[in-house]
Amino acid sequence: MLVLALDTATPAVTAGVVELTDTGIVQRSVHVTHDARKHAELLMPGVLTACADAGVALRDLHAVVTGTGPGPFTGLRVGMVTAAALGDALGIGVHGVCTHDAIAADARGEALLVVTDARRREVYWAAYDADGRRVDGPHVTAPADVVGHAAVRAAGGSAAVSGLPVVGPESPSPAGLVTVAADALRAGVVPGPLEPLYLRRPDAVEPGARKRVTGSSAPAGTTAPAPTASPVGERSA
């Protein structure tokens, strides 16, 4: 089975082709570009390069796996929307996996803390046991909140803030992404809708009801000011 793996939850724009067999995972190609502000411009060229390096065409793919974060909204949605569009165009399933789980899959071996940049002076983090199983998180907090965690190592692009020994990788590999989804892929599970792990509330909020403006009575012996122009669509009292 040939699987296209994508992730844009970190500053790394990652694409690669992975061959999944009944017994193993072989990373056929990987293309990574680091630019936190150009996910949309870099991802699809990276996908085409990864396919060319693997010697396959898009129509040869059997499934897509994409990281679902946690990650900043703008970058994360580029990868997920691209994955969904490719899956729809090619008629293949799209599996979403936690980006931190994929990083942990590449770094398993001891208790691990995965930490990535959340901007706004915060980090995303999740804790894993020696087998790569997530035991806490993911969360978004201030860096100070992850210092002194029970893990013995840290990985991810902001791992240094943990105060633990830092190991790689800083971002998920295509093989790591597919490792997380491997059981579902081998079992032929039909994936559900992609659900991004934004963790934060959106900045934009629905406006509340418009306040009614009423005039006040003028003091005795004075003349009330003339009414101002009413907003469009409303009539003055």
Three-state secondary structure of 138-196: EEEECHHHHCCCCCCEEECCCHHHHCCCECCCCCCCHHHHHHHHHHHHHHCCCCCCCCC
Name the CATH topology of 2-187: Nucleotidyltransferase; domain 5 (3.30.420)
pLDDT of residue 221: 55
Domain boundaries, the chain: 2-187
The residues pairing with 93 across neighbouring beta strands, listed in sequence order, are: 63
Give the 3-state secondary structure percentages of the chain, helix then strand then coil, rounded to 5: 30, 25, 45
Q: What is the pLDDT of residues 109-161, one digit of tens each?
A: 899 999 999 998 999 999 999 999 999 999 999 999 998 888 999 999 999 99
Identity of the amino acid at 137: G
Answer whether 29's CB lies under 8 Å from 4's CB: no
Cβ–Cβ under 8 Å, residues 115 and 159: yes
Q: What are 31's strand-pairing partners?
A: 15
pLDDT at 107: 93
How much is the pLDDT for 231?
A: 45
Tell me which residues of the chain have a pLDDT lower than 70.
201-209, 211-237
Q: How many residues does the chain have?
A: 237
pLDDT at 235: 38
pLDDT at 193: 94
